């Protein structure tokens, strides 16, 4: 099987994985963060597990960039789109884990699942964009690219800002959970997830590819189920939790 056919097959596999993950998380819930105490099994420290699980999705695009120029497609749109993927995972691998404050240990199963997905999806997105996607040089001026890139950037800003809000809910020495306020948390229970979803939907639009679209679908299936679990947890824990807040998408869902 040549590599392009392999990549095509992996797209359908990722779509199937999105369905399985959606059903699984809907039925049994997430084992991450505040819910990990409900699960039994070996655990890993939060910071190194985050770093290691995200690492493959940073390494794959980096590898494509450092290869000799003749070994990859030289189109400007290809390089920009691959850079967008890389920038996200540079932040998630080299910045986010080291900002975690008192993160709960990660279930080994959760870590392994995330590591395998980042390896799989990092390969799929990076190899397709560097070797097989064909774009005209003026694709960077196309409305799909411009709109998608703007959404990607806006989503990343929302995601990073929302993570900042969550990290700073507690004052030094405080413990327990608080209702997040500020930013898009005024409208949804999972503003950080909303930002990431917008980011990858923008990426899918900018790439105008089935690979990007399936990745956005997978992201929605994971983040919506987690956001719904958070939303229900907030309502159960806090009697004064704002009733007007949606789960994931402001004013809609």
**Which tens digit of pLDDT belongs to each residue from 127-137?**
999 999 999 99
Mean pLDDT of 3-18: 93
Say what the pTM is.
Answer: 0.92
Element (H, E) at 43: strand 43-44
Banded pLDDT at 35 (limits 50, 70, 90) = low
Kindly state the percentage of the chain with pLDDT values over 90: 73
What are φ and ψ of residue 136, in 5° steps? Answer: -70, 150
Banded pLDDT at 177 (limits 50, 70, 90) = confident
| Mean confidence (pLDDT) of the chain | 91
Domain ranges for the chain, please list them: 3-237
Kindly state the percentage of the chain with pLDDT values over 70: 92
Output DSSP code: residue 106: E
* Strands 43-44 vs 106-107: parallel, antiparallel or unpaired: antiparallel
3-state secondary structure of 44: strand
| Tokens encoding 181 | 């306020």
Q: What pLDDT is stored for residue 122 in this prediction?
A: 97
Q: What pLDDT is stored for residue 73 in this prediction?
A: 67
**DSSP 3-state helix, strand, coil percentages of the chain (rounded to 5)?**
70, 0, 25
With a cut of 90, say whether residue 101 has pLDDT above it: no
Output DSSP code: residue 208: T
Smallest CA-to-CA distance from 80 within 32, 30, 28, 145 is with 145
What are the CA-CA distances from residue 88 to residues 57, 141, 184 (Å)?
A: 9, 22, 20
Q: Give the total residue count for the chain.
A: 253
Phi-psi region of 39 (alpha: psi -120 to 50; beta: other; left: phi over 0): beta
Q: What pLDDT is stored for residue 4 in this prediction?
A: 87
């Amino acid at each position: 099987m040549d590599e392009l056919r392999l990549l095509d097959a992996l797209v359908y596999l990722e779509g199937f994985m999105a369905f399985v993950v959606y059903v699984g998380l809907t039925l049994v819930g997430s084992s991450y963060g505040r819910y990990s105490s409900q699960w039994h099994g070996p655990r890993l420290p939060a910071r190194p597990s985050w770093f290691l699980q995200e690492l493959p999705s940073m390494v794959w695009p980096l590898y494509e960039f450092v290869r000799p120029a003749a070994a990859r497609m030289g189109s400007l749109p290809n390089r920009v789109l691959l850079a967008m993927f890389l920038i996200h995972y540079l932040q998630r691998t080299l910045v986010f884990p080291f900002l975690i404050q008192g993160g709960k240990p990660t279930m080994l199963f959760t870590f392994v699942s995330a590591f395998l997905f980042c390896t799989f999806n990092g390969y799929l997105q990076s190899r397709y964009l560097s070797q097989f996607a064909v774009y005209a040089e003026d694709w960077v001026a196309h409305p799909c690219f411009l709109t998608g890139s703007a959404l990607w950037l806006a989503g990343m800003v929302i995601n990073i800002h929302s993570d900042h809000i969550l990290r700073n809910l507690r004052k030094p020495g405080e413990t327990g959970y608080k209702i997040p306020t500020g930013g898009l948390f005024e409208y949804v229970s999972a503003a950080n997830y909303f930002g990431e979803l917008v980011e990858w939907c923008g990426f899918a639009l900018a790439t105008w590819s089935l690979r990007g679209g399936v990745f956005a679908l997978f992201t929605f299936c994971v983040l919506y189920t987690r956001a719904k679990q958070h939303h229900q947890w907030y309502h159960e824990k806090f009697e004064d939790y704002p009733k007007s807040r949606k789960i994931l998408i402001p004013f809609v869902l």
